[in-house]
Structure 1
């Protein structure tokens, strides 16, 4: 069809002209706003408004303000250790009831009937006793001991400990009382307490309330670990244990003599 090609060519030329006008319009049209335009001014809040804003939320996602209680509890509870979590505002504590058995409780756990652990602070815990908040503090009536080289020699001499720091295996088994500590039905440590005057107990590096959590790098996970620990106390043996002491974990090396 000889007359079709001129028609198609004319259509193509028209489309090219349209695209050319569109390109010119695109280049000529300004990209920014047209007219008398001004950017928005920065809005600066007053100090009072900023204070109210930052008090309305916690940037660290903590549970809320620290709980306080002005009433000291009259319950027969003893606080042995505290483990805080400042990021979450939670934590756990080692408590013992009237029977003297220590157990670990997290915030929200029930300590006894009608009594829950509400909050953990650096030197005390807050318990919820039927809706009433009460405080229970760590026993700080005993001052911290300052031990020097001369004190170590005197302690060793008074306890029958050799000057090289070695302990007699036969004596150490009679110097300690070991009891399991459980949490949520699982054994999580071994509570260590001294017998007699406690001289040999202290000479070995322990303090009242210490809880053994690992022996030679193996974590304590069952009551059978007490028998395992006693079986490892033998002449010439060296034991490396880790104990929970308050909120800290302290390594203790026990070197037993050859006899």
Structure 2
């Protein structure tokens, strides 16, 4: 050691700095070789500080058992009790009375109560469709009193009944009440209406029909009964008012004309 110190003292300042720097570099290299792999001089393994603490292990939670949904309740059966047919309208619609006293216009194909649909409209009745079958609802009769047998429904579908049903709908759509002093005095032909029987008698839109075959024509019931009365009459005589003047038109039903 003494010889090393003497030789070190004999060196000039530049050589001493060079030797000190070289010794420091050699010491750092030896320290790197002697430390275990992955351990830094501070005592921690490389990367542990960067990674942070190891999260605690938590076992997966047990799956929550599914809660069974309550059983679905069947919809209540459709009830027709208390329904009353109040009238039929042109275009395939009916006026239905309800148990609470209200009434509403219902078109064919409309479900107006849960499970109850208006299926057909005829002269004096309508057919209601439900899940349990078809029922017949007659004028001013509760549904519980109306016939619902399949035979009654089939009887209503004869060609003659269908023809009269179509005519009744045409009359109901083509005629509108004409009122004076709050009372119905007759039924006027609507603009654009095409009613063959009245056209053959010389009537035009705007004319007010006041009687048919001598009977006053002043109620909805007369409109509904008109098709049947015309079919059975040999001659049809229609009194109407045009421009304040009363006129009478006569025509024969088509059935009589073919004979």
TM-score (normalizing by structure 2): 0.29
Larger radius of gyration: 2
Q: Which has the higher helix share?
A: 2
TM-score (normalizing by structure 1): 0.29
